[in-house]
Amino acid sequence: ASSHRQMEEVPLLMGSNCRAKGAAPGFKVAILGAAGGIGQPLALLMKMNPLVSVLHLYDVVNTPGVTADISHMNTGAVVRGFLGQPQLENALTGMDLVIIPAGVPRKPGMTRDDLFNINAGIVRTLCEGIAKCCPKAIVNVISNPVNSTVPIAAEVFKKAGTYDPKRLLGVTTLDVVRANTFVGEVLGLDPREVNVPVIGGHAGVTILPLLSQVNPACSFTSEEVNHLTSRIQNGGTEVVEAKAGAGSATLSMAYAAAKFADACLRGLRGDAGIVECSYVASQVTELPFFASKVRLGRSGVEEILPLGLLNEFERAGLENAKKELAQSIQKGVSFINK
Ligand code: NAI
């Protein structure tokens, strides 16, 4: 083991050191906030992803333990841990994909916007590091309020002169995962076979499932539409209340984030036809950011797909969503430019 350790170039807290020089071809992925409720299971899932050759786990607490633990999994990725701000730059250097679940989660009675004051500053600091150390990386933002943290990241990158809107993606996959599950329940279908586009943003009424566009094609009664729309929009709150103060969705979120990261990596590899919903810089509406179906490729977001036909209920929902989204975007932009 000691000779293995001597092979390391990067100072490590812990890791599967003997593989560092002979890492399999694949992508380098960093998780920022890796010791958290989302970060830990997400680290586990990314360690299982065969497209990942190097996995960097960064947090301000507890990364040595999480890294030691994850590094014992006999999968290909080399795992390295980084603890605290002085190690942020090493954590980020050379990364192809950076996933950000750092920040505080909701407690019962809180909206995602209530997290703004703490998480905005965390996302700013982490994005300053990305601009400096891996400006070409694809960035997946999970930290809430996503409707504001993505605009914050964009402003940080603009200031640094590194902004590429194709490479900055807000993770709304959990809304799609929930929609597929809940619609599958109502229709009696395997949720893996259901695909519900969810557009808008990632908070309350900005989460807009397009039930008229569900694949496979199906129809719902108006009661079903009301029930499903409300359950999808409040899925996060359902978990926050069930956890009763112990946090928000972490396991389903890690699953969703791993699914989305895998789609980004397959896009980077050059696979064709990778389409996911994501909150990105967009011209699909008059707002500067909007979640909708995007096609992922070697440069990140290669195409933003049109919204398609919306029914009257969805058009009304869209108008509602846009009002709140506009404010959340402005709040994020002003945080950096104040
Ligand atoms: P958590 O509190 O369990 O974990 C957050 C982690 O971030 C902690 O380990 C903490 O030490 C770390 N952290 C704090 N400041 C940091 C910094 N400056 N640099 C690096 N790491 C830092 O929270 P949880 O449950 O993992 O949630 C994380 C975030 O994800 C929250 O903002 C939550 O609202 C959001 N979230 C987003 C969802 C989405 O669909 N996009 C769904 C669920 C949660």
Reading the chain (338 residues) residue by residue, the pLDDT tens digits are 333 443 344 444 444 444 445 445 799 999 999 999 999 999 999 999 999 999 999 999 999 999 999 999 999 999 999 999 999 999 999 999 999 999 999 989 999 999 999 999 999 999 999 999 999 999 999 999 999 999 999 999 999 999 999 999 999 999 999 999 999 999 999 999 999 999 999 999 999 999 999 999 999 999 999 999 999 999 999 999 999 999 999 999 999 999 999 999 999 999 999 999 999 999 999 999 999 999 999 999 999 999 999 999 999 999 999 999 999 999 999 999 98
Q: Enter the ipTM.
A: 0.99
Q: Is 202 noted as a catalytic residue in this protein? A: yes
Query: ∠ at Cα 332 (327, 334), nearest 5°?
Result: 90
Beta carbon of 149 within 6 Å of any ligand 1 atom: no
35 lines ligand 1 (CB under 6 A): yes
Q: What is the pLDDT of residue 265?
A: 98
DSSP alpha helix (H) spans, 161-250:
173-187, 222-233, 235-243
Whole-number pLDDT of residue 97? 98
Q: What pLDDT, on the 0 to 100 scale, is given for residue 18?
A: 45
pLDDT, residue 201, reads: 98
What is the reported pLDDT for 294? Answer: 98
Atom of ligand 1 nearest to the CA of 250: 25
Q: Which atom of ligand 1 is closest in space to residue 249's alpha carbon?
A: 43
Cα(278) to centroid(ligand 1), Å: 19
Give CA–CA dist 328/149, Å, rounded: 9
- For residue 38, the CA-to-ligand 1 centroid distance in Å is 7
Q: Which two tokens stand for residue 288?
A: 């500067």
> How far is the centre of ligand 1, averaged over its atoms, from the C-alpha of 33 (Å)?
6
Sorted by sequence, the CB contacts under 8 Å of residue 242 that are 6+ apart come out as none
DSSP per residue over 243-261, as a string? Answer: HTTS-S--HHHHHHHHHHH
Q: Is the CB of 38 under 6 A from ligand 1?
A: yes
What is the rounded distance in angstroms from the CA atom of residue 26 to the CA atom of residue 265? 9
* Candidates 4, 56, 72, 202; catalytic one: 202
Closest CA to 114 of 203, 235, 36, 175: 203
Q: How many CA atoms lie within 13 A of 292 on its CB side?
A: 19
Residue 161 region by backbone torsions, left for phi larger than 0, else alpha for psi between -120 and 50, else beta: left
| Strand residues in the chain grouped as ranges (E) | 27-32, 52-59, 78-83, 97-100, 138-141, 168-170, 198-200, 207-209, 274-281, 289-297, 300-304
The Cα 149–Cα 277 span in angstroms is: 17
Radius of gyration of the chain (CA): 20
Ligand 1 center to residue 230 CA distance, Å? 25
The closest of 240, 168, 180 to 204, measured between CA atoms, is: 240
**Residue with CA at minimum distance from ligand 1 atom 33:** 105
